[in-house]
Amino acid sequence: MMDKEQLLLKYFDGSLTPDEKVNFNQFLESDAEFKTQFEFEKDVKSVVRKTENNSFKKMLQGFESELSGAPSQEKQNFWKPLSIAASIAVLIGVSWFVFNSDVFNGTEELYASNYEKYPNTVYTITRGDATDESLERLAFEAYETDDFETAITYLFELKEKTRLDYVDFYLGQAYLANGDYLKATDKFQEIISINSEFKDEGYWYAALANLKLEQEEEAKKLLEKLIKMGTYKKNEATELLEKLN
Amino acid sequence: MENHSDETLFQALKEGSESAFKKVYEENRELFLNFARRYSLADEEVLDAYQDAYVALYENIQNGKLTTLKSALSTYLISIGKYKIMERLRKRNKHTNNELLLNNVEEIDDEIEAFDIDNDALSTEQKLLKKYFDTLGEKCQKILKLFYYQQYNIKEIMAEGNYNSENVVKSQKSRCLKTLKEAIKNSPQL
């Protein structure tokens, strides 16, 4: 027979078998100490769930105040004039568009004109050195040849085995280049939060990834922080921020 | 325009991605508010119900009750939202048209039955317990969150928290529970 502690563990992780459930209920009826412990843990569970759910709800309320603060809040109202503007623009003609393409600075164009894959600055691949089969070599070879899927696989492995600071940054790069903007954003946020040597770059690329995700407010915030740091891509960031405003 | 499929977003939510958490919330907001317009609730209550539904969906993704999407994320949100709306209508003693909620049964409603979606107010004892939970060390809070909120088993907690053995996890968890129990016992408020 299974011991009481084990039964409680299995109850709360949801893995009791039907037989164990019978066993569990018997204890609940006949063993006062077991019952007290169970009731106590149930209370702890309610408290933990409440605490977690409250903190997630607070985050949502935070999104709401962001939404009401930003003029682009109501998506429907936001898109309608935009689509009208787009049709008018089409009527006016392509020649004018070519002539003054800045008017069309949609996020897509802004991204395309600002994005550039971050070069490999951490690992030198020398041609003759065919004996080097290290993970780093494989990862950066793939990265340099734009084979991002492979790069991600190797970078992941590299991350498991080492604690190198730059691995996360290049993982973010590979995700971004591969079109996985959510994962890229998360990686860059992580880099910013741990004060990595790539922190400044992290702000820039996190802003770009957010553009792709249509999170313009977030992108603006990141750009402002980058400009404040005043080193990497300061001019580009200022220019992009102006276009977004 | 980027169109992330629900599946991608779902996977990202599973992994705890903050940007997915925000994106899914924002993407389904209008749809939910439009859907809820048919019930006579104030705008703030509808928004509150949406947030509760969203938090509940997230919890059930985190705790592994929802492992594979059988429907769009928006369908889950609306199905859970119906419960949340009903709770509010009941609380205000309004005439609740249960039929309105029960017709239109979605194929996932059975699945939702098994979800943890209640978010009842805490009892007096539980409130006291929460007070002491909030003062626990980070390590204790983490292990208890993994066990009771995410419903990880001991093995999974061992991997997640870099513990050396299952026994270490078990005794750490027992110690945290004991601290709480002692605090309650010695509480001047009882």
Q: Identify the residue with better confidence: B94 or B80.
A: B80
CB contact under 8 A, A51 and B134: yes
Closest CA to B144 of A37, A16, A6, A47: A47
CB contact under 8 A, A61 and B51: yes
CATH code for the domain defined by B124-185:
1.10.10
What distance in Å separates the CA atoms of residue B30 and residue A225, rounded to the nearest whole number?
31
Q: Give the pLDDT mean for B167-177.
A: 96
The minimum CA-CA distance between B188 and chain A, rounded to whole Å, is 19
On whether any CB of chain A is under 8 Å from the CB of B163, the answer is no
Tracing tokens 């041609």 back to the chain, one arrives at: A127
The minimum CA-CA distance between A154 and chain B, rounded to whole Å, is 20
CB A120 within 8 A of CB A140: yes
A44 CB neighbours in chain B (<8 A) are: 129, 133, 144, 148, 177, 180
Percent of chain B with pLDDT over 90: 67
Residue A99's pLDDT band (cuts 50, 70, 90): very low
Q: Give the pLDDT mean for A46-56.
A: 96
- Cβ-Cβ contacts under 8 Å between A and B: the total is 111
State the Cα angle at B22 between B42 and A242, rounded to 5°.
Answer: 105
Least confident of A136-145, B15-24, B88-97: B88-97
- Alpha helical stretches, state H, chain B: 6-14, 18-36, 43-62, 73-91, 98-102, 109-113, 124-135, 138-144, 154-160, 166-185
Give pLDDT tens digits for A115-153.
888 887 777 776 555 566 788 888 888 888 888 988 998
Q: CATH number for B6-113: choose from 1.20.5, 1.10.1740, 1.10.3470, 3.30.1490.
A: 1.10.1740
Name the DSSP letter for residue A115.
Answer: -
What distance in Å separates the CA atoms of residue B176 and residue B91, rounded to the nearest whole number?
36
Write the ipTM. 0.91
List residues of chain A with CB under 8 Å from any CB of chain B: 5, 9, 12-15, 40-41, 43-53, 56-57, 59-61, 63-64, 67, 75-76, 108, 181-183, 185-186, 189, 210, 212-215
A186 CB neighbours in chain B (<8 A) are: 17-19
CA-based Rg of chain A, rounded to a whole angstrom?
26
Q: How far is CA A187 from the centre of its chain?
A: 6
Q: Does domain A112-244 have CATH number 1.25.40.10?
A: yes
Least confident of A184-193, B83-92, B123-132: B83-92
Give pLDDT tens digits for B34-76.
989 888 888 999 999 999 999 999 999 999 999 999 889 999 9
Closest CA to A242 of A57, A114, A151: A114
What distance in Å separates the CA atoms of residue A188 and residue A198, rounded to the nearest whole number?
9
Residue B3's pLDDT band (cuts 50, 70, 90): very low
Q: Give the pLDDT mean for A82-93.
A: 58
What distance in Å separates the CA atoms of residue B18 and residue A35, rounded to the nearest whole number?
39
- Which pair of tokens denotes residue A66? 């962001």
Give the mutation candidate from B22, B77, B131, B162 for the A interface (greatest A CB count, under 10 A): B22
Closest CA to A35 of A49, A22, A24: A24
A12 CB neighbours in chain B (<8 A) are: 147-148, 151
Decide if pLDDT at B2 tops 50: no
B2 CB neighbours in chain A (<8 A) are: 181, 212-214
Whole-prediction pTM value? 0.61
**From B55, B119, B122, residue closest to A47, measured CB to CB:** B122
Which residues 15-44 of B are in CB contact (within 8 Å) with A? 17-23, 25-26, 30
Tell me what pLDDT residue A93 has: 52
Residue A105's pLDDT band (cuts 50, 70, 90): low
CB contact under 8 A, A212 and B129: no
Please list, residue by residue across A169-200, b when 16 or more beta carbons sit within 10 angstroms of its beta carbon and e when fewer do.
Answer: bbbbbbbbbbebbbbbbbbbbbbbeeebebbb
Residue B101's pLDDT band (cuts 50, 70, 90): low
The minimum CA-CA distance between B104 and chain A, rounded to whole Å, is 27
Tell me what pLDDT residue A80 has: 56
Residue A100's pLDDT band (cuts 50, 70, 90): very low
Q: Tell me how far CA of residue B144 lies from CA of A46, A146, B13, B89, in angstroms.
A: 11, 43, 21, 34
Tell me what pLDDT residue A76 has: 47
CB B161 within 8 A of CB B143: yes
Tell me what pLDDT residue B1 has: 36
Phi and psi dihedrals of A45, rounded to 5?
A: -60, -45
Tell me what pLDDT residue B47 has: 96
Extents of the domains making up chain B: 6-113, 124-185
Tell me what pLDDT residue B97 has: 54
Which residues 62-101 of B are in CB contact (within 8 Å) with A? 64
Decide if pLDDT at A102 tops 90: no
Give pLDDT tens digits for A195-230.
778 888 899 999 999 998 888 899 999 999 999 888
CB B108 within 8 A of CB B122: no
Find, in chain B, the residue whose alpha carbon is nearest to that of A6: B170
What distance in Å separates the CA atoms of residue B78 and residue B81, rounded to the nearest whole number?
5
Percent of chain B with pLDDT over 70: 89
Tell me what pLDDT residue A86 has: 62
The minimum CA-CA distance between A12 and chain B, rounded to whole Å, is 7
Find, in chain B, the residue whose alpha carbon is nearest to that of A59: B22
Q: Give the pLDDT mean for B95-107.
A: 53
- On average, the pLDDT of chain A sits at 82
**From A5, A50, A181, residue closest to B122, measured CB to CB:** A50
- On average, the pLDDT of chain B sits at 88
The minimum CA-CA distance between A48 and chain B, rounded to whole Å, is 6
The minimum CA-CA distance between A57 and chain B, rounded to whole Å, is 6
Closest CA to A34 of A18, A23, A45: A23
